[in-house]
Amino acid sequence: MSKYWKYGMAALLTFSLAACNTSEESNTKTEEKPVETATKSEVEEAKEIKLNYLGAEYTFSNPVENIVAASFEAMEDSVALGIKPVGVLEVGGKIPEYLNELEGATLVGNKRAPSAEAILALDPDAIIGTSKWGEDVMTQMNKLATTLPYSHISANWKDNLLALAELTNKTAEAEKLIADYEQKVADTKEEIANSDISEKSVLMIRVRGGLMYVYPENVYFNPILYQDLGLKVPDVVAKAEAQAEISLETLSEVDPDSIFLQFEETENADAPKALEELQNNAIFNSLKASKNGEVYVNTIAPLAEGGTAWSKTRFLDVVEENLLK
């Protein structure tokens, strides 16, 4: 019994000495070459993306892979950045033709009533919604995943684009899109300054429900015409506080030199012949724009939002192709 006890003690002593030597060697190696370890906060930060957007902070799990683009602004920016959302909105039961690059994504309802069930089934890491939503919809969406209330104000188009880019590692692409747009605006403004366009009246009209509407200077495509390119702001636009109906009589008084006319069938389901009737109207045909062949119908997709990178870059091409032809 004593013999085994001695052997045991010897073994234990040998093990202890070996452990001490190992510890000393380990300490020596550590002193020679410190091992860098991530702090707890750094590990937590790596698991999350904290996004500062229009004065508020939003936290997303990292990485953000399954994105639901639950607004047309988000869908347009997704196309501009080459992003493939797992879920998108529908119009008439399908993805709008002008955004056919998003084909393959699951439809999650329309812009007024996104389907929580359809979105939840996609296990989203992020939902890109819209500031147009009411508090009830936003609350519901945030229960499914962190939801970014993408701004519908045209002036915030850069903030929108850069926010989506930050979530998807596309910042370089977004910055290039912005820089290219600003350079083209400068070039187009110079062309306009050297032409007679700067003295002309240009008006964007949208036909909805069979009626004609104009928008304020900072809404829809108007910022491109009046803020970016510096064209004269018609009084009817300057006085508009929101989407405002314009009658044929008022339009006759404005008598613009050029008209960009937007007509989408799904927005005129109750008045499918509204465009045809307008184009055949005697008052409309007496306008300078009509007489001079400067009424441009759907030169850009009529469902386009106007205040996104996709809309702005394409409409700038439209302005150049038609007004500076």
Per-residue pLDDT of the chain (325 residues; tens, 9 = 90+): 433 333 343 343 333 434 434 343 444 334 444 434 444 454 445 689 999 999 999 999 999 999 999 999 999 999 999 999 999 999 999 999 999 999 999 999 998 889 999 999 999 999 999 999 999 999 999 999 999 999 999 999 999 999 999 999 999 999 999 999 999 999 999 999 999 999 999 999 999 999 999 999 999 999 999 999 999 999 999 999 999 999 999 999 999 999 999 999 999 999 999 999 999 999 999 999 999 999 999 999 999 999 999 999 999 999 999 999 8
pLDDT of residue 108: 98
- Domain stop point among 169, 196, 213: 169
pLDDT of residue 300: 98
For the chain, give percent helix, strand, coil, nearest 5.
50, 15, 35
164 with 235, same domain: the answer is no
Neighbours of 139 (CB within 10 A): 11
**42 exposure class (CB count in 10 Å sphere: 0-12, 13-18, 19+):** exposed
72 with 158, same domain: the answer is yes
Q: Enter the tokens of residue 195.
A: 């032409």
205 with 123, same domain: the answer is no
Q: Is 10 among the domain residues? A: no
pLDDT of residue 221: 97
Q: Is 13 among the domain residues? A: no
240 with 159, same domain: the answer is no
Q: Is 74 among the domain residues? A: yes
158 with 190, same domain: the answer is no
274 with 315, same domain: the answer is yes
- Domain stop point among 114, 136, 169: 169
Q: Is 221 among the domain residues? A: yes
Q: Enter the tokens of residue 216.
A: 């304020």
In angstroms, the CA 116 to CA 70 distance is 11
Total domains in the fold of the chain: 2
In angstroms, the CA 224 to CA 324 distance is 15
- Domain stop point among 169, 201, 227: 169
Q: Is 181 among the domain residues? A: no
pLDDT of residue 23: 40
Domain span at residue 310 reads 186-323
Distances (CA, A) of 218 to 18, 43, 76, 156, 249: 77, 43, 19, 10, 24
199 with 156, same domain: the answer is no
63 with 123, same domain: the answer is yes
Q: Is 116 among the domain residues? A: yes
pLDDT of residue 325: 81
94 with 128, same domain: the answer is yes
pLDDT of residue 161: 98
67-69, strands of its sheet edge to edge:
106-107, 87-88, 67-69, 126-128, 147-148
Q: Is 53 among the domain residues? A: yes
Which residues, in sequence order, are CB contacts of 251 under 8 Å at separation 6+?
205, 212, 283, 284, 287
Q: Is 125 among the domain residues? A: yes
DSSP state of 86: S
pTM of the complete model beyond 0.75:
yes
210 with 150, same domain: the answer is no
215 with 281, same domain: the answer is yes
DSSP state of 114: B
82 with 164, same domain: the answer is yes
User: For the domain that residue 271 is a member of, what is the CATH number?
Assistant: 3.40.50.1980
pLDDT of residue 47: 87
